[in-house]
Amino acid sequence: MPLYKRKPFALVEKPEDLKPQELVFQIRFTKEIFRSYNEYLKRINLYRKRVWTCKATGKGNLTYEEALDSEDKASKRIQNIPTQYIAPVLRDVQFSMLNLKDLVNSIAVKLQGPFSEGAELYGRKDGRLHLCKIIKVTEDANNRQYEIAWLDSDHKRSGKALVNGDELTGKNLPFSKRVLKSFIKDSTYRSIPWVLHDHLAKKHGISTAPPEELKIKVSMQNGLVVCNRKRKKTEETQNAAEASEKKIKVYTRRNKLTSEPSMPEKSADEVNKNPEDQSIKYPIDDLLVRPSEEDRLLTERPSPCRDFSVPMDCVGDALMVWDFCASFGRLLNLSPFSLEDFENSLCYKDATPLLIVESYSALLRLLVKDNGKFAMTMEKKKRKPKITQVTWGEYLCDFLETSCGDELSTHISTIKRGHYGLLEIRVKLAIFCELVAQALETDTIKDKLDEYIEERQALAATRRDEALDEGRKRREEKERRKSEATGKEVKEESRVKPGVGYHSIANEVTPDKSNGKVLSQQNHSSRNSDNEEGDGTSKKNGKKQKVERNPSPEDVNHPSKREIHKLMKNEIKESIEMKSAEERKEFLEREIEKRFIRTSPLGKDKNYCRYWFFRRDGRIFVESSDSTQWGYYQTKEELDALIGSLNPKGERERALKKQMQKFYNKICLEIQKRSKEATQQIEMEEALVRRSTRVRAPPRENPALAFLKYVNKWKEL
């Protein structure tokens, strides 16, 4: 069992009078049962603290569950010890006074020797260890020597020699010293002296009575070995505590009459009012938060909208592919498009929309430029290097043949016949996901990500320097005001007391007997300080000159990452030098956002649902814990209701609420943009409805088919 602050910890016993239909609280990994929620919460919070130690390995700073896992792994390692070694090890451990390290080393040396005839081991020859076999052991009065035969790789004898025991090294034990440590800790209930558990001692016939030399130091108490010195100390401390309690009682009795009138006692209702809420320290795990009267202040959580064009199990893949294409659009030479247009293009079956063709072409073009496996295949087939709206299907079929499994390659014939639109949406997204996965492995994307990381670090360092400068200026302003206030006070005091100024001047001027001159202490100290500062600056400048005098040509041609980082930071500072503090802050935040690395969720709610916000879509997406259900919030009212429904008593919802409040203005701005676009689209639809039935609108002017108008404005010519 894990140790609490390196001491054994007893579990709560199961209540005896439990009824079959009674509702109780049970801890999963200890099987402890509690009737009171408050006691259950206290115990589980204790188990989650990092105050537990693994009994087998001695590893500390763990939670209770982590300590249990560590003990399970250690017990599995202990099972690797062969049975023939267990009894000898336990005999050496019982009542040993060595520390753990020395005990392990002594047992390992003992198990490896002494050497006997026929044993195969290693001997030192020409400064190296070679395999050998002991033929004969010769013993003298003071020395033991071994006649050995050298063995080659085929275990054939290649020569003989007579060596001492120091020149021989035994083969390694079938278990490590780490396993031996765990075995010793798991087999004993105390250390120095090490004492085995009773069942292990009885099983292997090892005596449990302390030896004669230890009977003075230890004794038996309740069937366990206890040190006498410690017991005496505990008895003394108990006696001292009892004596102090008696003194306190006597003192209180004497001063009871003279003491002040006691405060009015609180009623039982006031004392017992919400005892559980007073003892719980929030935030706690969200699933452990019990409903209370304060929850009435929380708003009702709105149900998310789920009207996606693609099937529900494909929403996650569609979001991933769209976010990748939108984030790396400049690198792919693919102009951005909305998520709705991407969904509608996937669902369109009459033909292959240009949006899909351009997306496939951009991804395939990236793979061809990377000179990887797909590029080698294209060279062998002697394909034209340029991917067009006519040849994109051939390249896509080649990709499915070379880089995809059998499930996707079965659809090659459908694509070759020009019926890509008839494929299922799941198949289309699976092909996109495979292309994105291959694109992420290319050197182009990796280099771009490395560049973004360096630029983000430089921007973050500049932002940090700006914050430090602002703090320094505030401190200087505060000190200046303080010095002005103190200067005014000194002037006022000098006006009231004119004698003070004379004495202060007289104290500042002292005669210098050695030179026969009168020097001012203040001037003397200022000169010294100036000289010291001058010497310090000259030394620093001298060091800088020494460093800058001999720059090697390699350093000039190949600057280090630190130098590159410094140059980038200086360039950023020069570009924002003429801007105000607010403009500089906004500029740095905007530039950091442009360097996209990955999209992370805002957080999780009580039920582990993840909440996502994408920069190019003004919606909050909700993903269920098992990633099977998706939804979204698209209005400011829904966003406010969602933030108001999050319970800050829970750990997950507290963190999620903090993140949503941090990005609230940005999310609201994107929601406003999206609502404007939606109103414009509705107005266009209404204008089409108001037209005369005799005038039929062409299909491309229908807003529902707006995705067919997509044009890649960033395409290479």
pLDDT, one tens digit per residue, over 330-344 is 889 999 999 999 999
Among 177-181, 320-324, 461-465, 552-556, the minimum mean pLDDT is found in 552-556
Distance CA 25, CA 14 (A): 12
Dump pLDDT digits (tens) for 195-213.
888 878 888 888 888 887 7
Contact 104, 89 (CB under 8 A): no
Could you tell me what percent of the chain has a pLDDT over 90?
A: 20
Residue 120's pLDDT band (cuts 50, 70, 90): confident
DSSP one-letter code for 699? G
CATH topology assigned to domain 80-229: SH3 type barrels. (2.30.30)
Written as six digits, the tokens of 58 are 């001695």
**Total count of residues recorded for the chain:** 717
Average pLDDT, the chain: 77
Q: What is the pLDDT of residues 60-84, one digit of tens each?
A: 888 999 989 888 887 776 677 777 7
- Whether the per-residue pLDDT at 279 is higher than 90: the answer is no
Distance CA 476, CA 585 (A): 21
Between CA 614 and CA 620 the distance in angstroms is 8
Q: How many CB atoms lie within 10 A of CB 262?
A: 6
- As a three-state string, the secondary structure of 539-561 is HHHHHHHHHHHCCCHHHHHCCCH
Which region, left, alpha or beta, applies to residue 31 given φ > 0 means left and ψ of -120 to 50 means alpha?
Answer: left
Residue 74 is encoded by which pair of tokens?
Answer: 């250690």
Burial of 477 (0-12, 13-18, 19+ CB in 10 A): exposed
| pTM confidence score | 0.54
pLDDT (0 to 100) of residue 242? 57
Surface-to-core class of residue 637, CB atoms within 10 Å of its CB (0-12 exposed, 13-18 middle, 19+ buried): exposed
Give the tokens for residue 42: 């206290």
- Give the model confidence (pLDDT) of 581-633 as tens digits: 777 777 777 787 777 677 889 999 999 999 999 888 889 999 999 999 999 99
Q: What is the mean pLDDT of residues 289-298?
A: 84
Supply φ then ψ for residue 613, to 5 degrees.
Answer: -135, 120
Contact criterion met (CB below 8 Å) for 621 and 316: no
Task: Check if the beta carbon of residue 312 is closer than 8 Å to that of residue 632.
Answer: no
pLDDT, tens digit (0-9, with 9 covering 90-100), for 212-270: 777 777 777 666 777 765 444 445 555 555 555 544 444 444 444 334 444 444 444 44
Encode pLDDT of 500-524 as tens digits. Answer: 443 433 344 334 433 443 333 444 4
Please tell me what DSSP assigns to residue 371: T
